[in-house]
Amino acid sequence: MKRAILLVAFLALVVATPASADTLQIQFSGLDLTYNGSTLYTPNPGGYGDPLLTMSFLLNGVQVGTTLTSNIFAYITFSTAPLLLPVSGTVSGSQTPACCFDLGMDNWNNYLSLNVVSWTVTTAQDGSITVGVTGILAGQIYGQDLPFVLTIEEPVTMSFSGTVSNAQSQGGFLTSFTASGTGEVSGPGRVPEPGTLVLLGAGLLGLAGLVRRRLS
């Protein structure tokens, strides 16, 4: 009988494999960026990073869980040096060592930590004033503990889009600006199916029962 129970528990654990990879998007708003002529970065008040307004998780375009509206942060910093950002135009580069595009949820109890490997930044001009900035970055996963039992996998793409203010320039290149806007992280994602979680729970309960009998 014990062998039969053990076999059922083992089969439940074996069957409880994650669902096939889908597309996971993490979309956020309230992003603030600063450029100092060589580095794009978020402000870091209180050591928590840039407080965001909203953060949503979408699997194949369908929202998972609720939209987060508090205790969410972004910590972004990557160097564009020795390349300079033009007043209007596109520039691409890579970064070694790779750093950093991090998102924090629940005061960083949940998080996604990415290394920036390569980047493309585009600036837009209205008259003589730079008014917009967008960026597309490729990253590597450094660590993660996402809410809603989600997992993201490589390849990961990060992006942002913002309205520029206080732009300063010299010789056709930007020396500083601030920007506010939105961002997104996208990559293959996984979430256990409800049936998978039930089977996993059944398997663990079966094994726990055997352990209790052995110890009693």
Which position has the token pair 């014990």? 2
Q: Which domain holds residue 141?
A: 19-190
Query: Does 204 reside within a domain?
Result: no
pLDDT at 192: 64
pLDDT at 78: 92
The total of structural domains in the chain comes to 1
Q: Which residues of the chain have pLDDT under 50?
A: 1-18, 195-216
pLDDT at 97: 76
In this structure, how many other beta carbons lie within 10 angstroms of the beta carbon of residue 49? 20
Query: Does 202 reside within a domain?
Result: no
pTM of the model: 0.79
Query: Does 210 reside within a domain?
Result: no
C-beta separation of 185 from 152 below 8 A: yes
Query: Does 132 reside within a domain?
Result: yes
